[in-house]
Structure 1
Amino acid sequence: MILVFGKTGQVARELALHSGLTCLDRAAADLSDPSACAAAIRLRRPRAVINAAAYTAVDAAEEHEAEATAINGDAPGAMAAECAALGIPFVTLSTDYVFDGGGETPWRPGDAPGPLGAYGRSKLAGERAVAAAGGVWAVLRTSWVVSAHGNNFVRTMLRLGAERDELRVVADQIGGPTPARDIATACLRMVQGLETAPERAGVYHFAGSPDVSWAGFARAIMAQAGLDCRIHDIPSAEYPTPAARPANSRLDCRGFTAAFGMERPDWRAGLGEILNALKEG
């Protein structure tokens, strides 16, 4: 049995569709209590653990950094330490927000982090706590997660596109939209890889392809959904948010492909699957 922390999030919901997994919600394991997370692993004795739960409210984290750090930093560290003690693999999700978003070159796993805000700092704290715990671990950094459920850019654009004739969308932030279904598959591929080759432990990147701006992504959503809503490019300065977003969220995913044999997913195909799922109810 593989134990998954998270049950209602985008990736956790996709993981729950696979057999042989047990997904824990907050009632079963509160991530604000790291010791409870470790106890949940000890109690169930799984063959591996995937942490797909997180504090993801990027703007709210600016005022609640201590809570975000407990959930995104301390809890994964406690999980990793327990997994190390039991001798089982541990996989946790992280984010492009650990980088400052400078330049135009895709970020490599070994590049120096420089988070712009509290959310990125909390996720980086988690990465470091997991690495410090030792054992067989892997951090999977991803970006721009989308699916047919939860709060995400696709669902927001579909709602607004049905209500309005035009939208102004940021065009100077570039990244790879990543379907949650593919992230779930990647996590399971990592667990299998770590079980057979523990030396693959480390930090990896996985994001959808091709890289695109938010505005470009919005146009693709409108086109595939058949919505007659015009998208106007704007700079980030015209859409201020409490937390700064990285301008360059491109991720170099070659290391993941080499280690686990999975190419970057085409988000355009994933978008089609998401739209079909929404049509089906």
Structure 2
Amino acid sequence: MSQSREHEAPVVGLIAGGRQFPVLVAQGVKAKGLRLVVAGFSGHTNPDVYPLADAHRELKLGQLAKLLDFLKEQRVRQVVMAGTINKPGVLDIRHFDARAVKVLLSLPGKGDDAILRAVSSLLEAEGMELVSPQAYAQGLGTPLGVLTRRAPDEREWADLRRGAMLAREMGRLDIGQGVVLREGIVAAVEALEGTDAAIRRGCELGGPGCVVVKMLKPSQEERVDLPSVGPDTVRELARGKGTCLGVEAGKSLFFDLEAAVEAADRAGIAIVGLAPEHLESGGGETP
């Protein structure tokens, strides 16, 4: 006699975007011996994730009804969202189905967090549990404190504190997670374009010495879309002659930390895992 569904190992549905994160999650799911179902999106999803799946389907962004039907057909019980989405593509509603349009029109705001919360609620209403990707891809949290050989100087600490406060405010408004500034003057705020493009624009406008700060949005759903950085972030900052990167410790993802720190050390960039005390005036230097 087969086990009841309540005692079966969960089928994990991965809603996959771009870059390496969905691949890491998929590898973690398979390492646990679980069945993996991947839903991807044309032009957005890293194709390297598909060979790891027991079943997969590629959809167009906005085909919400087809996404839900596919996950239900595959008896998915846990859902993980991982990977980047080309956010300007979200504005192209030509391929949105009626279900997606209804959700979009019902939202008071159209920021990332509002959309992700709405999709999360739909998944849970269909009996699927939304799970943090860190359940299957561990060890990616940003450590606390100065991570590079060089610590920020006094001016950079001041920009980190101001940047953290501004990033929190931008997050509260569901605009973005990051800000680029120098000498307290904001050069760029991350929005639809993503972190790398915001750094390019900010460093071009702010000039050498820019500081980048990324923080979790105050009301953000922590099971999806955590702030994330990695070697590409550091390389972009180095190209723009930026000098410091601050990322919220414990509430953000840092991919390939060792490689990123090595690249930062070569470029003379300081990296800090920020704690709440860094928001306080006069706070900063971490032992």
TM-score (norm 2): 0.39
Q: Which is richer in helix? A: 1
TM-score (norm 1): 0.39
